[in-house]
Structure 1
Amino acid sequence: MTENISIKITNPDSDEAFPILEELSANLHLRFGSDGRNSFTDWENNNESFVFVVAEMNNEIVGCGAVRPINKTIGEVKRMYSKFSRKKIGQTILTFLEKEAKKIGFTELVLETRVKNESAVHFYQKQQYKVIPNYGKYINRPEAICFGKTLK
């Protein structure tokens, strides 16, 4: 039986987003020693180039994700998280974000994850993201692996 997942655009500072973002940060800190919060501080409310979503399943927030602009044509995927594995939560969030990114006018999405985060690396490859040279603050950071995807 496939679970029904709904995606909702919201504000990362909202009460509904707070618990899932805290869980994501705690998970990242436990696994990698850094919670990733410092890479998500430039959020601009009421800016149509920024999209933050939560995923809900059975009246529970079970995931989140965001896109923010790198420039006018390239968006960056941030704060992707799924509370449960193998329920298509991440795939549903990412598909939604890709559609929203196209509406904004982005023609490409990029993202970074840790090389050690093998499940994320596999997930993005399965979603047709290709390894790209590290960009921005990830240049010369061997623990980082960057991905990109052209939106069609």
Structure 2
Amino acid sequence: MIRHKSQHLTFFTPKAISGSGAPFFDTGISAGFPSPAEDFKEQRLSLDKELIKNKEATFFARVSGQSMIGAGLDDNDLLVIDRSLEPVNNKIAVCFLDGEFTVKRLKVNKEGVWLQPENPNYPIIKITSDNDFVIWGIVTNVIKKV
């Protein structure tokens, strides 16, 4: 279900599906030499349980743009956002700034708040009293397509 769409992010609410879960092999997948197949033990894994800590405060949003590529957030990635987490320095946050949603790294100190992109082609944004600004939620995970 789409909840809100802006120029840079499209928000979704998680939908609970009972009995959901994909097969999960509780063993490391070797990125080096293959491991013997008899070591695999199949279980069920729910990504909801892995990625969502507070269901009522969790939303998904799809990234649009390149300002956070240095943090590993690429165009079309799906963000998991928890609105119950405390916004602190150096966290990646979804913010509402002057009528638009954006995702940036928070830089907070006694001198103020800045929104730091992770791409040198984008400017750092200094938040002032003239801005309509709300820290909407903290990014906890990113889901990528390969």
Both structures adopt the same fold (TM-score exceeding 0.5): no
If you compute each CA radius of gyration, which structure gives the higher value, 1 or 2? 2
More strand by share: 2
More helix by share: 1
